[in-house]
Amino acid sequence: MHAYLACFQPECGATYDITQVIYTCPRCGGLLEARYDGSPGEPWTLKQVFRERRMSNLPIDQSGVWRYRELFPFLDNAAHIVTLREGQTPLLDAPRAASYAGLHRFTVKHQGYNPTGSFKDNGMTCGASQAVRLGMKRVACVSTGNTSASMAAYASAAGLQPLVFIPNGNIAFGKLAQALEYGGQTLQVEANFDQILALVRRLAERLGIYLLNSVNPFRIEGQKSIVIEMLDQLDWRVPDWIVLPGGNLGNTSAIGKALRELLAWGFIDRLPRLAVVQAEGSAPFWQFMQSEHRGSFPVVEHPETLATAIKIGDPVSWPKALKEITDSGGVVERATEQEIADAKAQIGLCGIGCEPASAATLAGARKLVAAGVIDPGAEVVAILTGNVMKDPDYIYRYHTGQLVAPGQVAIQATFGNPPVVVPNDEDRIAALLG
């Protein structure tokens, strides 16, 4: 299939060579996406090929992203692929979470099992491979979170230099620690996120640095594998709902694009509905979808939430996400800090665990079931985006009743499980344990 870059704005329609180093449309400033002429091949045959690759020891077959490479064929040389065996994440039954949500069944696709602990790896393997293909020596992103952890790992694995730009005083510690450990040259700039992004764009052009921010269309291609692998694990049975958290909305865009392409190419015969869940203090997309006329996008100037991975007031990929929600008959929900914290504890009690942003899925699903939007008998798959160990401080505070949300709102330890201090006394401990 012939691969090229296309402007996402239908009114513009500009197309560009797949090797052009651009991140938005040079003509209109719109978002870009990778497109392919033709079809990847006969679905039944390719589904068999995907299965057989699970038995292979080839690194690109073991990767849960590149195993599906025919569905995002933007590279022309497999030697450019940089893989840490990302993807291959489990689909887990979470019965306790199901009853919490009022559903018969609740399944999670856990992207926290990735090499750096989040779904960013699914995208970064593609972005880093494109950087290698383009002959880049340095890559950069602006992020305090999972993107920098993932980018640093993939760049270092590929022999590229990772440059991580972080806004001053806005550091998620566990994730920053990963970026440092994976060799990211980390520059803390005295400016806010948007100012730094503008700065980094100028530096990228000036110094020939490749940008791996969330608008990078190749990262979106890689994130398609999340839902492709999920469907493979479901023997290509399409669930009724896919629930995921929404921050910059890149993942919503990727999953929606994958599903539309799979439908067009004959791999599935219907689309699941998407449910995107935002945190209440950081819910511009939710607000946009509520508004009747959908005029200008209601940017949140000071987004607030303890779920830092979705603390985004001006999501870059909203035009794509709007299309995916519309095309799939999807919905956008929002959840409070308390709802997210309690849902997270319920996911923990399944023996699964996740980071706060991921738990917005269960919180949102529960509200959508209560509102009659999701049927209790529906097949619902939630995408858990990040690993439980990304944010241990949040967990300890929740269970000990010390978690405080923005605005000094105390979070109740509804399902708290604090450690108990006991004397070194066998009888008293035995009495306590009953």
Ligand X SMILES: *Cc1c(COP(=O)(O)O)cnc(C)c1O
- Interface with Zn ion includes 270 (CB under 5 A)? no
Exactly one of 28, 49, 180, 203 binds Zn ion (CB under 5 A); that residue is 28
CB of 423 to ligand X, least distance (A): 41
What are the b/e assignments for 42-71, b being 16+ CB within 10 Å? eeeebeeebeebeeeeeebbbbbbbbbbeb
Report the candidate in 411, 42, 46, 101 with the shortest Cα–Cα distance to residue 243: 101
Q: Which of 15, 22, 27, 58 binds Zn ion (CB under 5 A)?
A: 27
| Residue numbers 346-405 binding ligand X by CB under 6 A | 355, 357-358, 385-386
By CB under 6 A, the residues from 214 to 233 that bind ligand X are: 214
Question: Beta strand 404-405 with 409-410: parallel, antiparallel or unpaired?
Answer: antiparallel
Nearest CA-CA partner of 175 in 193, 151, 210: 151
- One-letter amino acid at 38 equals G
Secondary structure (3-state) at 241: strand
Give the nearer residue to Zn ion in terms of CB position, either 317 or 346.
Answer: 317
With contacts defined by CB under 6 A, name the span among 90-98, 134-142, 195-203, 247-255 that binds ligand X: 247-255
Least distance to ligand X, CB of residue 278, Å:
9
How is residue 289 written in tokens? 């979808």
Chain Cα centroid distance, residue 390 = 14
What is the SS3 string spanning 6-47? Answer: EECCCCCCCEEECCCCCCECCCCCCEEEEEECCCCCCHHHHH
- Amino acid found at 32: L
**Of 67, 120, 257, 273, which lies in the binding site for ligand X, with binding defined by CB under 6 A?**
120
Count of positions on this chain that bind Zn ion (CB under 5 A): 8
Q: Which of residues 31-90 bind ligand X (CB under 6 A)?
A: none
Q: Which is nearer to ligand X, 40 or 272 (CB)?
A: 272
Nearer to ligand X, 275 or 310 (CB): 310
Residue in 248, 282, 305, 346 binding ligand X, rule: CB under 6 A:
248
Spacing of C-alpha 287 from chain mean position: 21
* Per-residue contact flags (x/-) with ligand X for residues 288 to 317, judged by CB under 6 A: ---------------------xx-------
Who contacts 296 (Cβ-Cβ below 8 Å, separation ≥6)? Answer: none
* CB closer to ligand X out of 300 and 310: 310
**Given the rule CB under 6 A, which residues bind ligand X?**
118, 120, 145-146, 214, 245-252, 309-310, 355, 357-358, 385-386
**Given the rule CB under 5 A, which residues bind Zn ion?**
7, 9, 12, 14, 25, 27-28, 30
